[in-house]
């Protein structure tokens, strides 16, 4: 009888053994969720006090906005670090969604404006290419897009005689044809004159600065007299200091002698470099630029 009772007790003990690890697991889960709740509830005043104290200890000075005279170790000082009301620290969800919608709308407007400007520049490039198609096929004019600028590069071979800033009659027709395309556009126009590295020293052009500036000015006079607002126009003389190719060969020097007409984005200021020294005083250039005095034979090779 005693053995049977002992056997029953042992069996009951074995059947109830699962309750011990189960109770431990439930206790651990309870402690885990208590920790999560404690971590999620941050006291902003205490957090700010701790942050200011650490800032003071590591930097040797009080953080900006701290109360004057507060002790660095006063972590729980309610006077030095007042706890803001929940309404002032927590943004309203409607405000968050409104700000997000505003940013998204502004981004969409910026993208739409950028696409519209890009399409407008593409149309300008197409119109200029159509107007100058014959010269483009002859490799005398190059039209290209560079960022937000359309560049029309014209070789001086078809514009000016050697060492001169007087446009040839055929060149005047080319510039006027281009001006007709530009007249309907709001874009600012910058005209740059470029030479090769061959020195020039004459009474009219003491250096390539004066020659490049005078050539650009001659082109601008024709553009302005073709009905384009002069306030849209600007002139830059770059002399020989912006070469396309090496000046060591005749082909390179020929490529470097050019006039560049830059069609800039509408409404943007002229981003060109500092202007070159002004040309020597002389008669103002009307629609037909006056002839330049003959250049002495002793001047040497001219750009």
**pLDDT band, very low/low/confident/very high, at 7 (cuts 50, 70, 90):** low
Q: How far is CA 77 from CA 60, 117, 208, in A?
A: 20, 58, 75
> How far is the C-alpha of 171 from the C-alpha of 194, rounded, in Å?
17
Looking at residue 137, its pLDDT comes to: 86
Highest mean pLDDT among 3-7, 79-83, 165-169: 165-169
- 224 with 232: CB under 8 angstroms? no
Highest mean pLDDT among 71-75, 130-134, 215-219: 215-219
Q: Look at residue 143 and give its three-state secondary structure.
A: strand
Compute the average pLDDT of residues 71-99: 48
pLDDT tens, position by position, 227-251: 899 999 999 999 999 999 999 999 9
Q: Which residue is it, tokens 């090496």?
A: 246
* Alpha carbon 81 to chain centroid, angstroms: 43
Element (H, E) at 236: strand 233-237
Task: Kindly tell me if the per-residue pLDDT of 141 is higher than 70.
Answer: yes
Element (H, E) at 273: none
Looking at residue 197, its pLDDT comes to: 92
Structure-model confidence comparison of residues 65 and 11, the more confident one? 11
Looking at residue 185, its pLDDT comes to: 84
| Encoded tokens for 282 | 């002389």
Q: Look at residue 233 and give its three-state secondary structure.
A: strand
**pLDDT band, very low/low/confident/very high, at 195 (cuts 50, 70, 90):** very high
Which of 211, 202, 215 lies closest to 289 in space, CA to CA?
Answer: 215
pLDDT tens, position by position, 17-70: 777 888 888 898 988 888 888 777 666 777 777 777 777 777 666 655 555 555
Q: Identify the bridge partners of residue 155 per DSSP, sorted by sequence position.
A: 258
> How far is the C-alpha of 175 from the C-alpha of 257, rounded, in Å?
17
Domain ranges of the chain: 122-293
- 249 with 197: CB under 8 angstroms? no
Element (H, E) at 237: strand 233-237
Which of 91, 89, 92, 70 lies closest to 81 in space, CA to CA?
Answer: 70
> How far is the C-alpha of 224 from the C-alpha of 222, rounded, in Å?
5
**pLDDT band, very low/low/confident/very high, at 118 (cuts 50, 70, 90):** confident
| Encoded tokens for 283 | 């008669």
Compute the average pLDDT of residues 274-295: 40
CATH number of 122-293: 3.30.1330.60
- 81 with 51: CB under 8 angstroms? no
Structure-model confidence comparison of residues 299 and 31, the more confident one? 31
Compute the average pLDDT of residues 133-145: 86
Q: What is the Cα Rg of the chain in Å?
A: 40
pLDDT tens, position by position, 179-189: 988 888 888 99
Looking at residue 100, its pLDDT comes to: 57
Minimum mean pLDDT range among 54-63, 168-177, 208-217: 54-63
Q: Beta strand 141-146 with 149-155: parallel, antiparallel or unpaired? A: antiparallel
- 181 with 128: CB under 8 angstroms? yes
Looking at residue 261, its pLDDT comes to: 94
pTM value is 0.54
> How far is the C-alpha of 301 from the C-alpha of 130, rounded, in Å?
36
> How far is the C-alpha of 253 from the C-alpha of 207, rounded, in Å?
16
Which of 226, 251, 223, 225 lies closest to 235 in space, CA to CA?
Answer: 223
Compute the average pLDDT of residues 215-238: 94
């Amino acid at each position: 009888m005693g053995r049977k009772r002992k056997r029953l007790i042992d069996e009951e003990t074995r059947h109830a053994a699962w309750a011990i690890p189960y109770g431990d697991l439930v206790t651990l889960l309870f402690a885990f969720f208590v920790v999560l709740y404690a971590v999620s509830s941050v006291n902003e005043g205490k957090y700010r006090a701790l942050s200011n104290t650490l800032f003071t200890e590591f930097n040797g000075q009080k953080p900006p906005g701290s109360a004057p005279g507060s002790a660095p170790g006063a972590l729980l000082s309610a006077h030095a670090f007042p706890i803001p009301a929940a309404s002032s620290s927590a943004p309203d969800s409607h405000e968050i969604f409104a700000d997000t919608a505003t940013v998204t709308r502004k981004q969409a407007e910026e993208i739409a404006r950028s696409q519209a400007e890009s399409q407008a520049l593409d149309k300008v490039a197409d119109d200029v290419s159509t107007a100058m198609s014959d010269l483009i096929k002859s490799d005398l004019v190059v039209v290209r897009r560079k960022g937000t600028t359309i560049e029309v590069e014209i070789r001086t071979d078809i514009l000016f005689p050697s060492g001169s800033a007087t446009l040839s009659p055929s060149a005047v027709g080319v510039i006027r044809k281009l001006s007709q395309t530009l007249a309907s556009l709001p874009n600012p126009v910058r005209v740059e004159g470029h030479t090769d590295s061959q020195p020039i020293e004459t009474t009219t052009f003491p250096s390539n600065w004066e020659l490049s500036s005078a050539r650009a000015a001659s082109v601008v006079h024709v553009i302005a007299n073709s009905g384009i607002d002069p306030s849209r126009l600007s002139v830059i003389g770059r002399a020989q200091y912006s070469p396309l190719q090496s000046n060591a060969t005749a082909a390179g020097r020929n490529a470097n002698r050019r006039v560049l007409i830059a069609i800039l984005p509408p409404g943007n200021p002229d981003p060109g470099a500092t202007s070159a020294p002004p040309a020597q005083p002389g008669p103002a250039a009307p629609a037909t630029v006056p002839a330049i005095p003959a250049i002495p034979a002793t001047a040497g090779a001219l750009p």
